[in-house]
């Protein structure tokens, strides 16, 4: 049996305000919950149907109907967990490849970008304070578990980029082809808002302007998660070629 208080405690974590105040977030399904547990995240509460048989965790058993009530998903999947938010290290990047997101608004895009970062072994993403919250249920699910392995920092991007010693890359419509520019292994890649691209304040901090070549006149833009993937893939391909 779940109590009314338990239900309320889960449901209010849909709002960023409550997640921040309580230092908690929700994750669902064996894959995402399993990845978070495997990466050492602390589960404050685990609600699961009998189907879910975790290693070394003791869930509170619930019925399929109770899980449906708790869940933020259209099709709840065996387990819903309340985890403690990880501590956000304050450090600025000194080496390696990192992403900086300037005002990403769509939860699906942010989730996909976190998944792309994970694929390419990019372990840190800096987000501007107006980027959608990575710990919202929608983003957490869209990462397919990658949020367990990628560190996310919300910070003042302008400050971070003003003080970094790393080269700052960004894709801009007036940049030079991604395929002809030198790409450093230690670098920050900035990706901008879905509608407006990189904001003016951040744009002038970009030291290396890149362009993803287009093959004819028709299309105006690429989805931001797609552009992130093409850019990260090329950075990693170059490293492979040079080593």
For a copy of itself, the binding residues (CB under 8 A) are: 31, 35, 108, 112, 115-116, 118-121, 144-146, 148-149, 179, 212-216, 218-223, 225-226, 229-230, 233-234, 236-237, 240-241
Smaller CB distance to a copy of itself: residue 182 or 218? 218
* d(C-alpha 104, C-alpha 133), whole Å: 9
Tell me how far the alpha carbon of residue 208 is from its chain's centroid. 24
Q: Select 114 or 202, whichever has its Cβ closest to a copy of itself.
A: 114
For the CB of residue 121, give the shortest distance to a copy of itself in the complex, in Å. Answer: 3
CB closer to a copy of itself out of 95 and 119: 119
For residue 208, which phi and psi values (nearest 5 degrees)? -130, 110
- Decide whether 53 or 221 has the Cβ nearer to a copy of itself: 221
Shortest approach of a copy of itself to residue 97 CB, angstroms?
10
Q: Judged by CB, which is closer to a copy of itself: 68, or 119?
A: 119
Which burial class, exposed, middle or buried, applies to 190 when counting CB atoms under 10 A from its CB (0-12, 13-18, 19+)? buried
Phi first, then psi: give them for residue 166, nearest 5 degrees. -80, 150
What's the maximum distance between 2 C-alpha atoms anywhere in the chain? 61
Residue 214 beta carbon to a copy of itself: minimum distance, rounded to whole angstroms: 6
Q: Which spans in 71-211 are helix H? A: 107-119, 137-142, 157-163, 200-203
Minimum Å gap between C-beta 203 and a copy of itself is 22
Q: Do residues 138 and 111 make contact, with C-beta atoms less than 8 angstroms apart?
A: yes
Q: Which is nearer to a copy of itself, 68 or 214 (CB)?
A: 214
From the CB of 1, what's the least distance to a copy of itself, in Å?
A: 33
19 vs 53: CA distance, rounded Å: 27
- Measured CA angle at 109 (ends 217, 88), to 5 deg: 135
Measured from the CB of residue 117, what is the shortest distance to a copy of itself in angstroms?
Answer: 9
- The rounded distance, in Å, linking the Cα atoms of 32 and 170 is 30
């Amino acid at each position: 049996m779940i109590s009314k208080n338990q239900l309320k405690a889960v449901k209010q974590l849909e709002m960023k305000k409550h997640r921040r105040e309580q230092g908690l977030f929700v994750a669902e399904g064996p894959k995402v919950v399993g990845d978070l547990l495997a990466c050492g995240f602390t589960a404050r509460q685990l609600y699961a149907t009998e189907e879910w048989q975790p290693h070394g965790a003791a869930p509170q058993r619930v019925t399929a109907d109770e899980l449906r009530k708790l869940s933020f998903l259209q099709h709840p999947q065996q387990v819903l967990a309340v985890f403690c938010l990880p501590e956000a290290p304050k450090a600025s990047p000194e080496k390696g490849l990192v992403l900086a997101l300037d005002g990403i608004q769509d939860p699906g895009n942010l989730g996909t970008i976190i998944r792309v970062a994970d694929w390419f072994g990019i372990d840190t993403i800096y987000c501007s304070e107006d980027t959608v919250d990575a710990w919202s249920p929608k983003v957490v699910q869209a990462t397919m578990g990658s949020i367990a392995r990628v560190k996310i920092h919300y910070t003042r991007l302008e400050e971070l980029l003003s003080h970094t010693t790393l080269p700052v890359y960004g894709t801009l419509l007036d940049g030079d082809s991604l395929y002809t520019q030198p790409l450093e292994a230690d670098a920050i890649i900035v990706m901008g808002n879905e509608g407006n691209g990189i904001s003016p304040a951040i744009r002038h901090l970009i030291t290396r302007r890149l362009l993803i070549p287009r093959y004819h006149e028709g299309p105006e833009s690429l989805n931001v998660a797609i552009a992130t993937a093409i850019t990260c893939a090329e950075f990693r391909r170059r490293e492979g070629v040079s080593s």
